[in-house]
Structure 1
Amino acid sequence: MSVGVSVIQPGPVLETLRRSATRTAVSGRPDRRALAELRRSGLLATAVPLEYGGAGGDAATVNEVVERVAAVNPSMAIILFQHFAVTARIGEWGSAAQKATLLPALAAGECLAASSWSEPGAGAAKKRLATTASPLPSGRWLLNGAKSFTTGAGVADLYLVLVTTSAEPDDHDSAYGSAGQSFFLVRGDNPGLVAHLDLDLVGMRGSATGFVSLRDCEVSDDDRLGPLGHAPAIIAAVRESGATLGAVSVGIAQAALDIAAEHAGRSGLLTTQTVRHRLAELSAQVEAARAIVDSAGRRRSAEPGAVTLRSKLFASTTAEQVCIEVARMLGSAAYVVSHQLNRLIADARAVALMGPTNDLCRELVAASWTS
């Protein structure tokens, strides 16, 4: 049963996040004051089950909350989405001890989670991981390697890290990840984990996206999430969940549409039929993207994984198109670096490059016709 967004009241925090988006667009650094407000807001509890102190929200609720945040601050929405994604993985695959310890902290805002899967040379499908976890005689593990484009780097308290645990032959049935890969939950205060915010991104400048180095990072076997070598199955289950980055894109598209409507009203252009019709077309595109994201979250299709992939692909493409069309409508009015629309255009493009990238989404969707 879907838990409505009204269960969680994001209203008071939205204005804080809106102001934060302007500051981080200039600085390119995460806004720690806004992050502190996000922790206090109750939003981090959205995807945590009720029995662990959360709001019990399903994928449809997650998508709606993420969209609302993205409409005012896409960078913070990405951080929030990754927190929800890790929360859901712990809820599905975590041990009883992991759930009892981590889920209440994730709900209370005491623990902010991030995903750390990508790395240089691994490819979009994460087939060639160089980051390894080596077993120690004590039964613990030693992690070594480097992760790139980790959202929430340096601000997260918990990282879900994808590593190679055995040199098994590649699993050709897995389109994402490979046999012999496993997940570990690594605390941000682990001395073997170091975050670097050296990336000067064009879009999502306040998302704390950077590198994570793992150097003799020692963890317990109790920190392993799911069975050993089971990462591809866990990754595949992510798509089935219905939570989608397309929700971020819908929020971006809605924000661009609002800018266009406000500009048209302020400039007296709403008396012009051509302008009204262009706004109507754009609103239809935004609503279509919202509908497929909602469909993915409600998982009513016989192929929920395919709908989730399509929702990310369609919504992110739509957001880029809407932003560009709004830029044409505004003309010179938006042709200054500081205009909000320019940030939204860059943020819209960023979603297309986030995992699974749009090209990988196309390959995964097309696989049903080629297999």
Structure 2
Amino acid sequence: MRVREVDPRESRSSSNLLQSSFWAHFKQRIGHRTIALRFESARGRGTVLAVHRTTGCGQHLYVPHGPEMTLPEAEQGAFLLQLSDAIAAAVDCNPTFLRFDLPWRSPFTEDGHWLGRPEPRLQEMRMNFGSGGLHLRKAPSDIQPPDTVIIDLQHGETSLLARMKAKTRYNIRLAARHGVQVCDEGVEKLQEWHDLYRQTCERQRIVCEQADYFGKLFDTAAADRAANRGQAPRLHLIAARHNRRMVAGLICAIWKDKAYYLYGASSRAHGRLMAPYAVQWHTMLTARAAGCRSYDMCGVPPENDPAHPMYGLYRFKTGFGGQVHHFCGCWDYPVDEEQYCAHAQAQASHAAYHLRG
């Protein structure tokens, strides 16, 4: 396999937002080095975008939602191992390891039913089958959620509503009866939204990005369009108001024919208004009007388990009529075994959830 570094703009044709030239530009704006690598192999060719990261245990390359190759499961491990070897030899940053947040579907389903992920060592045996060793390791935690809800938007409004759970339809209408109004806000309302987002992160005990992060996200999209740097997604800040006060909102990205729910916020004090339901419905209609075929709600627990700490999120997102999809999650290729083990042990005690790549 041959690998060479290329201009990140070669990723402009990517169908995945996190492998796009826009995402490379955005990560550069917030202080990361990004590397685009063109590969050619007997199985095909393509480009992967990698983000260079530095930790206390050295450097590594993170590939969000890549490589974008469709392969039979039996060929995935061998291909990923060859690609990893070639990337490690081609780059100049001397990485401790490579991390791939794979876009491939999880093999642990049967007739559409989720079987659950076995313990990591068994996953590694399956991924490395035929390679002569356990060269690819299941990462101690995932960065992008490996389980998500994807809604098919190729239906009329009546059909979309009919596919929802009855309680979800009821709450959408209840929000309207309460006087909740939803609209696409301008970027000038980002600070107001961020105040609500910060409260939400504190309540849910998840990582909170600073306001400047979101400002640069919108600025990058605007700059890419103005400078004609490939293609840029359309970003939307969709918010619900009650008596002029913002009570819920989300940031949505429309890229190619897909819409992505990136970040959300809501007010606990105004929970009875059911504003988040109205916001999601408005987002679905906005994406559908823009020509999107699907809406990725980006992250749920893997199954309908009331004991899961984020069971409420599962009930909320699955209520909108989408299907739960399971992916392989993060896989590592150690280059320096000793430093990698130190990093993996440190990370295992700080498991990530829904952290953007």
Higher helix share goes to which structure?
1
Same fold by TM (over 0.5)?
no
The normalised TM-score by structure 1 is 0.27
TM-score by length of structure 2 reads 0.28
Q: Which has the higher contact order (CA 8 A, sep 6+)?
A: 2
